[in-house]
Every structure is written in C-alpha cells, then in structure tokens.
Structure 1
C-alpha cells in the first residue's frame, strides 16, 4: 500500500495512526510489515524513545521523516511528537486459546483498557460482536499504549457467527444475575469470557449459552465498569494457574 494523502482519521480509511512513542514502538515490534511511514517532530528527536524508533527504522528500512506541520494537522493532542502511519489489517483468532468476547462495545477508552489488560494477563485473542467501536480509531490505539499490536482480534456479524466458528470454546457470559459466583466457577479451557455493552450488558438470552457468571459486589453500586469486570475475570483465572 502506498502512503495516502494524510488527514485526520476517519473509519473509512484503509490506514490509521499510532500516536506516541510507546504505541509506535509496539507497532514496529509486532506489525512492522504494516508500517507505511513514521513522522516525528523536531523537538522530540533527542528523546530516548524516538531515538530508539529512529534506529529501528534505519535497520528495517522504514521511512522516517521530520514533519511538525503534518503531526499538528492529524494529531488529537498538542504534545504528540511521533506518529506511526500503518495499514489496517485482519487477524485470525487462535482455536485452542482462551478468548475475550465483547458484545457491541461502544466506548473507545474501555476497549483500549481491556486490550492493554489482556496483554497483562496473557490473553491474546479478542472477538468483537458488531456493532462495536472501531478498534483502529487512534483513540483506541493510544489508550492501549501499543498493546493492540500484540493481540489477535476479529469482528463478527453476530454472536451466533462467533459460536459457530469456535464450537469447542466453553462460554462464560458475565451477567448481573448470572447463575454462579465467579469464585465458584471451574474454568474449562478453551473458554470465552463474554461481556456485554457498557450501558445494557448482556440480554437475558445469554443465560442459554454456557455457564453464566456474576461478580459479587456491594449494593452501593448497580454494576462494575466493563473494563473492570473484564479485568477481574482475567485476574481470577490467572490467579488459579
């Protein structure tokens, strides 16, 4: 793919941006074949992170250019000193590994936090059931701190489409009125932790899939934040390993 004319990101584009040194370093580490070009601001050239990026670009023959004006044009924040332009790509989820499944996620920050937490607990496969937030939105990319480039992800038209593709996975929907306390669940691998939308959660029909789970908490709140609940699930599984 040739470098297109660069503008503020739109979902329809075949490319996206990684803003900041950490996301760009992970882009170069995990998806260097998708990098179209790296742009840097003059005032950032002496920083350790950008110096490392420059060395990688020289070694891998990746185009590296100083361009303050362009970064000011496409960046969301004033203190952005390096941008990685990359081609969008598709992934395949691993059949024998555990999955995180998000049904209609709508918040970019939550999605980014979940992806970063996945890397922290060694979960590498993410399914998103449409409609869902754009995983290539630079706000998502930046909130992952580059972790996006270290996972596999795939969008599905429906939850049924996902379950038909991964029939061997044991399903654990997280619901406020789930059948079992998470502390009493005997996780059977490979499994899929299924989480609902930030506002609505999962509808009652998800109780028919696998073994539904609830996370106990005080009555002073209605529910836990999506990224928090997902992190608790991953931590509880990891704690037992």
Structure 2
C-alpha cells in the first residue's frame, strides 16, 4: 500500500493516536525510529502495521502486507518529531494483569503523579537498566503511551511491564511483604544505609508537589548531597535508588 494523501483514513487514524483518549479508544499507540521499531519487533507486543516513507531504505523484517508506504510529506504529518526518521510502528496497547507481577520479592517503581513525559520515560529506562520487576503509574501520571514518554524510554517500554493503575497497588505490594520507600528532605536515613536489595518499592512523586501517598510509605530516606542544590530531578532520584538497589544485590553475590 502506498499512501499519497494525508486525507487517507489510515493516516487520519494514526494522527489521532497522538491524543490519549483516542489511543485508548482504539487500543493502539505508535513508536517512531528504527531502534524503537526493531525493539518492538523483537518483543511480545502485537504490531498492527509498520509505516515508512518513500525515502526510508532499510529492510525491515516484517510481513509485507502489514507495511504501509507513504510520501515523505504525508509521513511528516503523522510524526510526533521535528526531524522524523521516517519509520513508525503502530502497536496494540498491552493488557497487563498487575497481580501477576506483584510477588513476595522483586524491585518495584511507583510513579506518583509524575507529569513530565521525559521524566517518566527516563524512569522507565532506569527501571529496565537496573533490573526492576515492574513500573506502576498512579494518581494522574502522564500517559505511559504518550509519544514523548516512549521516546524517552529508548525502547525500554518493550522490556519491562509499565502498568497504569491506582494507589491500591501499594496496598497489594505491602500485603506481599514489599517494603515501600520514598524520599523526604527531612528523612533521617540515607538511601545507602537501608536494605533495599530486594522486596522493595520506590515511590517517586510529582516534580513540584512530591509524594501524595505519604501515609502508605513504610520508610523515608534521603539521597546525600554535598552541593548547594536543594533537590534532584525525579528521574535522577529514581536512577540513584535503582542503582543502589542493584549495588547491594551485586555485593551479596560476591
């Protein structure tokens, strides 16, 4: 199929996927760029079709009848980037059962009203890099399948379950013996002084308001800082938490 007009029904459908309401009504999202498309192809996600422009020349190992070709100008109309790589995959939104991932051990990340797409995407990428079990988003966090979030994950969205849910997930984790941590500037304990190698969940709060579920947190810790900065970006704090958890696991294996 070769599409020359942005008025084509399929093109109009893809354009709408930039909107959260439309994504969930259609049950679809898209990722752009060769790396993300190849990551999607190597995952268990169900790909509806791949769209590429006439100037895209790489060979993509996918069913020929599911590859849609467009002019460069039409592709730019559906792209969410300023300088598109001229390829995207349209993918079914996965239906995760959160209860499958809530176990008596594991490393969990809970994004609590995290609004910035880049921050959430980077948190997901760090969770993937440091071996977390799952990421949960609660309290109006930015949509997981927002194109900007997906770009910031750099393909990690296909490696780790990221599940939009409610704060009840914290109670489910605690019922399994998972200890819930969050940062607080007035905390007495430093992150490296706590046993966080396993059976832990890290709550990461809103960029300006912090954690909204303090009553559900088991322990508050802080990250030692010797400079003048008052706080860290939420995605940086997440990476430090997750790295420290992995560091403790590696020490136990020695």
Cα deviation, residue 71, structure 1: 1.8
Q: 2:76 aligns with which of 66, 72, 76?
A: 72
Deviations 1:46-92 (A, max 9, x none): 3xxxx2xx22x13xx77112213442111022332111011222323
Q: C-alpha root-mean-square deviation of aligned residues, in Å?
A: 2.0
Cα deviation, residue 219, structure 1: 4.8
**Alignment partner, residue 89 of structure 1:** 94
Check 1:195–1:5 CA distance in 2 against 1; reply closer, same or farther (3 A cut).
Answer: closer
Q: Secondary structure at the match of 2:150?
A: helix
Check 1:219–1:25 CA distance in 2 against 1; reply closer, same or farther (3 A cut).
Answer: same
Cα deviation, residue 208, structure 1: 6.0
Cα deviation, residue 200, structure 1: 1.4
Gaps of 5+ in 2: 1-9, 250-254
TM-score, normalised with respect to structure 1: 0.86
Deviations 1:92-118 (A, max 9, x none): 341222100111010000011111111
TM-score, normalised with respect to structure 2: 0.82
Q: Which runs of 4+ in 1 moved over 6 A?
A: none
Q: Secondary structure at the match of 1:99?
A: strand
- Tell me if 1:191 matches 2:200: yes
- Tell me if 1:7 matches 2:15: yes
What number of residue pairs does the alignment pair up?
226
User: Retained in 2: the 8 A contact 1:15–1:87?
Assistant: yes
Check 1:219–1:11 CA distance in 2 against 1; reply closer, same or farther (3 A cut).
Answer: same
Cα deviation, residue 188, structure 1: 6.2
- Tell me if 1:239 matches 2:247: yes
